[in-house]
Structure 1
Amino acid sequence: MTGRIRDTARAAAPAAPRPAVGRRPGRPSPPSLPARVSAAARRIDEATPPERDRAVDALRAWAILGVVLGHWLVTALVVPAGARPELHTASPLQYLPGLTPFSWAFQTLAVFFLVSGYVTTRGRLSAQARGVGHGPWLRRRLARLFRPVAAVLALWTVVAVALLLGGAEPGTVRTLVKLALSPLWFLLVLAALTAATPLLTRLHPVWPLAVVLHVDLLRFGFGAPGLLGWINLPAGWLVPFTLGAAWARGELCGRRTGWALLAGGAVATAGLVVLAGYPASMVGVPGAAVSNLNPPTLAAVTFGLAQCGLALLLREPLRRAMRRPLVWAAVALANLSAMTVFLWHQTALMATTATGLLAGRLPGLHTLPDHPGWVVARLAWLPVFALALMVCWAAFHGWERTTGRRGARAVHPGADDAPHPRVVG
């Protein structure tokens, strides 16, 4: 009987695994790719300081994603047929006005400035607490902001000269360079607001909002010169920036403020579009008489207030979502590469467009965006743009993550606003 039980147990027991060919017996097999990714995500999650507000990083990732996808969807580089065609830009919003609501989803600059105001104010207050003066703090911050720009400027200087020497049409070169360097306006505005942070931390958002209101009244109501509108470039983005500063001071904790901004901003924007004739598109449309972004109009600012309200309402749901290690790791890594992605996403689009010309004029890439089929084709190109952007990231992300000190590896942009626990310097 005992022998039968022993035989049954022996038969039920799993056979010992045979060692794989070429592997020493007893050496454990390497973990699978999902297991390695999960382990890396847990390490990032465990290394993040518990006091960090992860919702801030999630909002910044949302803003970056909106800008990148928005540009990729509405920027068409049209290559006309001909021996020496001159490339020009177009937008599906010119020909398919029914797509206008999509501009509301992908125009996320107000969220970017909201987060920037929060982060910059927190960073300045933290520096003050450590006894760091405004000058050293500002120099370090601007160095982190503009260091990656040097690579973009250097590459496109070489590309522009090479294209002109190679016989490219000057109009084509001008279009490409303008598109590649278009993200820099944002950095200039952000740098100016960062430099003025000590003066802005207590500024109420109603004051820059009043400036935008009066500038638009003079432009559109009394026929003032259009150049006056450029006052709205700093004033318009100062509104969400000062909201972020108020958030950093703990003044926007309740959900009531979020609902008031969301509802008030949405109603005001709808009224300006329907009753005052402002464009419904929240991004620029080539050939339009008025752009809501270039320079910012009152409608763009009120729309931004609605977005800021939504962002404030999403803080708690985002904090809960960021407790998942995989989700948080993805957001943290996106934030560490935010500047590289922002600066190079247009270059990725243009590199794909230029490479595609080797196969001829391709739909959704070189053709006029004047029918729904173009939109479908452009959606199919998005993964290719993303792959090209990954190549740019691999080549240039070191400019974002290294300091001026040799051998130092910095995690931008510091303990007060970066999702990584280690900080150099």
Structure 2
Amino acid sequence: MGTSARELADLTPDTRDRYIDLLRVVSLGTVVAGHWLMAAVTDDGVGNLLAVVPELQLLTWALQIMPVFFFVGGFSHALSYRSLRRKHPDRSVYSVFLRARLRRLLRPTMAFVLVWGTAALVVQLLGGGGGMTGVALRLVTQPLWFIGIYLAMVAFTPPLLKLHERYGWAAFGALLGAAVAVDVLRFAAGVPFVEFLNFAFVWLAVHQLGFLRADGRIRAPAALAGAGLAAAAALVALGPYPLSMVGMPGEKVSNMAPPTLALLCHGLWLVGAVELFKGRGAALVSRPRVWRGVVAANGIAMTAFLWHLTAMLGIYGAMIATGITLPEPATGSWWAQMPLRIAAAAGLTALLVAVFRGFERPAGAAAAPVPGTGPIAAVGITLCLFGILGLSMVGFGGLLEGRTATLIAVQVSAPAAVAMALGGWLLVERAGRGIVPDK
């Protein structure tokens, strides 16, 4: 029987940085709410409210909060890896670190992938896959891009943490400089395909800020926030960057896919802003009732994130199936109906979380590392990364037709992506299992 959220909250040591846990919950919760708010669904398909009402794109400067989650990840990864190094100073802990960080991430993800993959196959064998069902088969895997990027951050934590410990802010500066160089080559020199390098440079730079935070080296958060906000505003006003900090349908340049220097500056402003509120946030989560809520939410956050689009599309599908009129997006009736739609999506998400939350249970204590398993773990996480990213792009539509999507110049199908993800996960599990320490 698992430990309850109340018991976990009561067992929390005073030394734990509870504000980081609060940021993790708030960032994922904001992403979920943003997806529900932006969905502009009609009988003809799913659009984006920000395209219907372009003035609302300015809200993405507050609601595009994914950089905060990656910043929190950097902080947590630094603490976790250093803890393993202290326990096993004479061994490489890479494989054990990967397994420990990925178990709570990949177990709920693989459950989601296998459930949806099976459902998609059954639906298409029965001749379905049109209407809202077809939309769902294409869209439900899109948020998996975030998990793919997060896998890369975990994989690169050891070498980048080493660089941080040697160079500090200069290591972050090198990633920032690389992101600048990529955008110069992209927009000024017209070098093809170079922009995809910023999937690494931009997000790893944000992740690197988490290392700096772990060492108490973000000492001027107001300056960081101000510089980031000013730089992002200047880039959007004077450069080729769009206003929206999330991807928009049909746009020639996206700040998200691939990430741009403008998005990195946006991340700097968000990191500075959340650090400014650190004192108030810490005081808030020091209250026992609030902390119990944060602990409970952290225990289901990944499951809720994985299934929230399923819930939203399920509600819209039910409305269409029962003949409920879907008003035109951004009209008065659409806004009036929105609270009910969100409440229904939240309720269905809660039901799905209740069904699948068991896959997100905390893993047991880490085993002792075994020499020579690092390369196996590295191959495993690479396969996981490409499998998850590939699946986020291709979706589950067109399984029987062999539908593919391009991932770094390679055509990837859904079955191949699932096989890579599962195979990689098994390799990480095997490499990181290690030796069970004597009690």
Match of 1:30 in 2: none
Letter aligned with residue 67 of structure 2:
A
1:57-72 aligned at under 5 Å gives the runs 57-72=21-36
- The 5 Å alignment of 1:202-217 reads 202-203=163-164, 204-217=171-184
Larger mean CA deviation between 202-211 and 186-195 belongs to 202-211
Please name the residue that 1:78 is paired with: 42
3-state DSSP of counterpart to 2:247: coil
Aligned residue number for residue 188 of structure 2: 221
2:334 equivalent to 1:374: yes
The question of whether the paired residues in 2 share the 8 Å contact of 1:96 and 1:371 is answered with no
**8 A contact 1:164–1:170 mirrored in 2:** no
Distance in 1 between residues matched to 2:81 and 2:5, nearest whole Å: 30
- Partner Cα distance (1:306, 1:372) in 2: 34
Residues 7-406 of structure 1: matches in 2 within 5 Å?
Answer: 45-80=9-44, 88-131=45-88, 133-169=93-129, 175-201=135-161, 202-203=163-164, 204-225=171-192, 227-252=193-218, 254=219, 256=220, 258-363=221-326, 367-371=327-331, 373-401=333-361, 403=363
Counterparts of 2:99 and 2:154, CA distance in 1 = 11
1:283-338 deviations in Å (ceiling 9; x for gaps): 11112222111111111110011000011111111110112111111111111112
- Of 340-349 and 387-396, more deviation after overlay is shown by 340-349
CA distance in 2, matches of 1:92, 1:195: 35
C-alpha separation in 1, matches of 2:134 and 2:5: 43
Q: Compared with structure 1, are the counterparts of its residues 50 and 141 closer, same or farther at alpha carbon in structure 2 (3 Å cutoff)?
A: same
**1:47 deviation in Å?**
2.1
Q: How many angstroms does 1:379 deviate by?
A: 3.2
Number of corresponding residues: 353
The AA in structure 2 aligned to 1:335 is N
Q: Whose Rg is larger?
A: 1
- Aligned-pair identity in percent equals 35
Structure 1 residues 402 and 47 mapped into 2: Cα distance closer, same or farther (>3 Å)?
closer
CA contact (8 A) 1:211 1:235 kept: yes
Contact 1:44 1:325 in 2 (8 A): no
Write out per-residue CA displacement over residues 24-73 of structure 1, whole angstroms, 9 at most, x where no aligned residue. xxxxxxxxxxxxxxxx9875543211111110011111111111011111
Amino acid aligned to 2:273 = L
In the alignment, is the contact (CA less than 8 A) between 1:282 and 1:292 conserved in 2? yes
- Whether the aligned pair in 2 keeps the contact of 1:66 and 1:105 (CA below 8 Å) is no
Q: Partner amino acid for 1:93?
A: L
Q: Is the partner of 1:223 in helix, strand or coil? A: coil
CA deviations over 1:168-222 (Å, ceiling 9, x no partner)? 3568656323321112111111112212211111342222222221211222222
SS in 1 for 2:140: helix
CA displacement at 1:165 relative to structure 2: 3.0
Q: Tell me, yes or no, if the aligned pair for 1:95 and 1:370 is still in contact at 8 Å.
A: yes
Distance 1:171 1:214 in 2: 44
- 5+ residue gaps, structure 1: 1-39, 81-87, 406-424
C-alpha contact 2:132 2:313 (8 A) present in aligned 1: no
Conserved 8 A contact 1:41-1:326:
no
1:329-372: CA deviations, max 9, x gaps? 11111111121111111111112122222322433xxx542535
Q: Distance in 1 between matches of 2:320 and 2:79?
A: 47
Distance 1:136 1:45, change over 3 A: closer
Summarize deviations over 1:208-250 as a string: whole Å, max 9, x none: 222221211222222222x322211121111110000111123
Seen in structure 2, the aligned counterparts of structure 1 residues 70 and 240 have a Cα distance that, compared at 3 Å, is: same
Instruction: Give the conservation status (yes or no) of the 8 Å contact 2:41–2:329.
Output: no
What is the alpha-carbon distance in structure 1 between the residues aligned to residue 119 and residue 276 of structure 2?
44
Please give the secondary structure, in 2, of the residue aligned with 1:284: coil
**Tell me, what secondary structure is at the counterpart of 1:181?**
coil
**Native 8 Å contact 2:5 2:296 kept in 1:** no
Give the distance between the partners of 1:372 and 1:99, measured in 2 at CA. 16
Change in CA separation of 1:134 and 1:355 when aligned onto 2, cut-off 3 Å: same
* Worse overlay, 192-201 or 388-397: 192-201
Aligned-residue CA RMSD (Å): 2.2
CA distance in 1, matches of 2:212, 2:68: 14
Amino acid at match of 2:277: L
- CA 1:376 to 1:265, structure 2 compared with 1: closer, same or farther past 3 Å? farther
Q: Residues 372 and 105 (structure 1 numbering): CA distance in 2 closer, same or farther, change over 3 Å? A: farther
User: Runs of 4+ in structure 1 displaced over 6 angstroms?
Assistant: none
Shift of 1:277: 3.5
Question: How far has the Cα of 1:139 moved from its partner?
Answer: 2.1
Q: Matched residues in 2 for 1:281 and 1:312: separation?
A: 23
User: Structure 2: how far apart are the matches of 1:72 and 1:333?
Assistant: 22
